[in-house]
Amino acid sequence: MDPILESKYPSLVISLNWENPYQLIVATLLSARCTDERVNRVTRDLFPRYPDARALAGADLAELEKAVRPTGFFRNKAKHLQGLGRRVTEAYGGEIPGTMEDLLTLPGVARKTANVVLSNAFGIHEGVVVDTHVKRVSGRLGFTDSSDPKRIERDLMEVFPREAWHPFAWRILVHGRHVCVARKPRCGQCDIAPFCPSEQPAA
């Protein structure tokens, strides 16, 4: 199955625009319940205005809310971003930390965001990114019967070797966005349908 996904989705480059760990963690937090395309439009102006954690720490909250409003849930996101900026500035000298333990101390950061940052910015694979697409596709493929992201992550970590955690999760995430969608999955267009216990026959 993995060779099929690899041939279909050869690129492991995420669609969020970022140049350093700070930009990646900010973009990832903004991507919650928002498309990457919209996040990229917002960060195009946000990053020059708040170029590092110290700038974010000193941001006016109302102005920050206005800047991130298009991504949805803007009050919570702005609060988390400001808190993250302050925590990173005070505890880590303004640099995004590179360990799971430290990342999880940052406001708004759970394992999904931490895994995205570690895998992409630091090349460290401590777990599996579980977003709504990975959750859905993993369940349909029979890799997990849980709805809890932490349990799903553990299940996937047991099924796949460490070196496959990042590439497999990314590929099924993209597959979930475009083929194995939530409503009316496109099983007729799915290259891994023969391996899927949830395949739906064509209408």
Instruction: Tell me how far apart the alpha carbons of residues 47 and 190 are, in angstroms, rounded to a whole number.
Output: 38
Enter the tokens of residue 57.
């720490």
CA atoms lying within 13 Å on the CB side of residue 82: 16
- Catalytically active residues are 112, 131
DSSP state letter for 33? T
The closest of 27, 19, 18, 84 to 53, measured between CA atoms, is 84
List CB contacts of 45: < 8 A, sequence separation 6 or more. Answer: 67
